[in-house]
Amino acid sequence: MLTGGVIAYPTEAVWGLGCDPWDQNAVERILELKQRPVEKGVILVAASVDQIRFLLDPLPEDLQRQAMSHWPGPVTCLLPDVNRQIPEWVRGRHSSIAVRVSAHPVVRALCETAGMPLVSTSCNPAGRAPARHIWQVRRYFGQQLDRIVPGALGGNRKPSRIIDIVTGQQFR
């Protein structure tokens, strides 16, 4: 992955935009492309629980088990960011962080290659439908991306469910 780079890649249901979550400039590029306010925050996606262990370890065991019961798979869990380990440009105005451990082979390979979780947000400008085809990725963002990673979408028809592991509330 390019330093400061923004990539598009297939996920379980839609094409995603991703980058290094600790690179503020890269995250800001994604937010600018999407016309998304930083306050909303973005999701982190990981190849394995080990990649996000630092977010799980401060939590009580029952919350850790609750989150891990959904992974790997197309469920995003809102985890309390107890020690404020995730930058505000990723977390937004929230005290929690949205995290998914993916079973999608392209997503897993990207996170494994990067050696860390990555930002994962739908590949679309605000108010437009998420890209479900590579031609939509190109139409939306064309040459503004550093790379489009080839691959097929997973079998899901809808973006990942989002569940708050503390309250059990489902948001999507």
- Residue 171 inside a domain? The answer is no
Summarize pLDDT for 18-70 with one digit per residue, the tens: 999 999 999 999 999 999 999 999 999 999 999 999 999 999 999 999 999 99
Closest CA to 145 of 16, 35, 21: 16
Is 1 a member of any domain?
no
Q: What are phi and psi of 14, to 5 degrees?
A: -140, 170
* Separation between Cα atoms, residue 142 and residue 83, nearest integer Å: 38
Report the domain count for the chain.
Answer: 1
**Minimal CA–CA distance to 107: which of 71, 82, 63?**
71
Residue 134 has pLDDT above 80, yes or no: yes
Please give the helix or strand (H or E) that residue 162 lies within, else none: strand 161-164
Burial class of residue 87 (count of CB atoms within 10 Å of its CB; 0-12, 13-18, 19+): middle
CATH number of the CATH domain containing 46:
3.90.870.10
Strands 96-101 and 118-122: unpaired
* Domain range enclosing 89: 7-164
Per-residue pLDDT band for 157 (boundaries 50, 70, 90) equals: confident
Q: Is residue 93, in this structure, part of any structural domain at all? A: yes
116: in domain? yes
Q: How many residues does the chain have?
A: 172
Q: For position 159, what pLDDT does the model report?
A: 74
Instruction: State the average pLDDT over residues 141-149.
Output: 95
pLDDT at 3: 66
The predicted structure's pLDDT at residue 1:
47
